[in-house]
Amino acid sequence: MTRFVGLDPSTRCGFVALDTAGGVLQKKELQGIGKTDPKRMSTQIDEIIDHIYPDDVIVIEGFGFASQQAIQLGGIGWGLRMALFRRGMSYIEASPSQLKKFASGKGNTKKDELGVHIFKRWGFESSSNNVLDAFVLAHIALGLNSYNAELMSTAFTSFQREVLEAIESPPEKKAKGKRSL
């Protein structure tokens, strides 16, 4: 059975798995063992991977630019991506602004306001911002899997379609010019 999984890599990783109808199969925060790295980080990545099934469609929140814990979160984020790669599992990345826009219509919605939008749209609640983010990411995974014109026009709002289309067909990155010394 295909599940649609959202992962918000953080010191407490949000994990949500949805069924094909968008029902929540599993939701939790995964934090690893202990309080000292690298043990906590390593066991957290193992714990996340233990929750992933071979047929899962996975969307991971991309890296934020202004994170105060950028080095630690980068370690968790890249460690998770490498663990998935080693197991031959693919994933899709959604930026923090795409996650926010998919839930609220605005890519700059404040983190503490996002829960209200999620509850209004899907009736889902959690005391964890990480689980809330993972829930939206799982819905993005579900949306990307149902990506066809007929469904897109009826099942998603215009701003959700914009997010799905941007993830499905990202704009080409401009090559940086070479600097001369």
Span 45-86, pLDDT tens digits: 999 999 999 999 999 999 876 555 555 567 888 999 999 999
Q: 3-168, what's its fold?
A: Nucleotidyltransferase; domain 5 (3.30.420)
What confidence category does residue 94 fall into, taking pLDDT thresholds of 50, 70 and 90?
A: very high
pLDDT of residue 154: 75
Tell me, what amino acid is at 76?
Answer: I
Parse the chain into domains and list their residue ranges.
3-168
- The answer, yes or no, to whether residue 144 has pLDDT greater than 80, is yes
In a 3-state reduction of DSSP, which class is residue 126? Answer: coil
Query: What span, in angstroms and rounded, lies between the C-alpha atoms of 119 and 26?
Result: 17
- The answer, yes or no, to whether residue 103 has pLDDT greater than 90, is yes
pLDDT of residue 70: 56
φ/ψ of residue 37, rounded to 5: -85, 150
* Torsion over CA: 129, 137, 58, 65 (sign): negative
CA 78 to chain centre: 14
Nearest to 99 by CA among 84, 115, 85: 115
- Tens-place pLDDT, residues 34-55: 989 889 999 999 999 999 999 9
Mean pLDDT, the chain, integer: 90
φ/ψ of residue 59, rounded to 5: -120, 125
φ/ψ of residue 51, rounded to 5: -90, -5
Which structure tokens are listed for 12?
């407490």
